Amino acid sequence: MRFCPTARNFYRIRRILIEMLGLPRHTIRPTSTLADLVPQKERRRVQQRFQRERMRFPTIRFSLFQKYIALFATLTPFLIGLVVFPFSGWALLVALAGGTIATTLQWPHAHEIDLAHTIRDAVRASTRMAHYIDAGYTPSRKEIADKVFDIVSANLGIKRNLLTEEMSWEDMGAE
C-alpha cells in the first residue's frame, strides 16, 4: 500500500478549508460539521472549489424563508392570473413564470446545508473505489459496506445510520 486514500482526502479537504477560510488547522477534525466550519456566505464558493478538486460538498438548498418567498412568488401570479384570465391555462403559465423567476433570482443566495454533515462524511463521499485501487489498498469489509450504504442512502432516501448489513432490499423499501 502506497497511501491511505481516506487520509489523503481528509488532508485535501483540510487544506482547502485552511486556504479558503483561514481556519486554524486544529479546528478541522473528522467530527467537525461543515455547517459549523463554513460560514453561510462562503458555502457556494467552497462548494465550487470542492467540485474543481473533484471532492463532494453537501448539497446547498434554500432556507425555509427562501422557500416561502418562492411559494409566495408562485401563488401570487397564479391568483392574479385566475382573476385576469378566469378558466384559462394562462393562470398556470403566469404562476410558473413567477415561480421560475423567483427561484432563479434566489438561487445564488441559497446557503443551507445538512447541519449534521461532518468532515468524515465529506471524506467518505469523496473517496471512490478507484482511489483505493490506485493506492494498492484493499478496502476492508467495513469500508466496502460504508460505500454501499452511501449509495443506498443516496438513491433510496434512507438515513445512512438506519442501514445495517443484515437488511434486505425489502426491508429498505426497494423493489
Q: Does the predicted model carry a pTM greater than 0.85?
A: no
End-to-end CA distance of the chain: 39
Residues 107-160 pLDDT 10s: 777 777 777 788 988 888 888 877 777 778 777 888 788 888 888 887 887 877
151 exposure class (CB count in 10 Å sphere: 0-12, 13-18, 19+): exposed
Q: Under CATH, which architecture does the 5-60+113-139 domain have?
A: Orthogonal Bundle (1.10)
> CA separation (Å) from 107 to 67, 104, 110, 114, 140?
11, 5, 5, 17, 40
Residues 14-73 pLDDT 10s: 999 999 999 999 999 999 998 899 998 888 889 899 989 888 887 777 778 878 887 787
Banded model confidence at residue 1, pLDDT cuts 50, 70, 90: low
Domain boundaries, the chain: 5-60+113-139, 64-109
Residues 89-118 pLDDT 10s: 777 777 777 778 777 777 777 777 777 788
Q: How many residues does the chain have?
A: 175
β partners of residue 61? 112
Amino acid (one-letter) located at 99: G
β partners of residue 33? 118
Amino acid (one-letter) located at 92: L
Contact 117, 35 (CB under 8 A): yes
Q: Is the dihedral of CA 147, 149, 152, 153 positive or negative?
A: negative
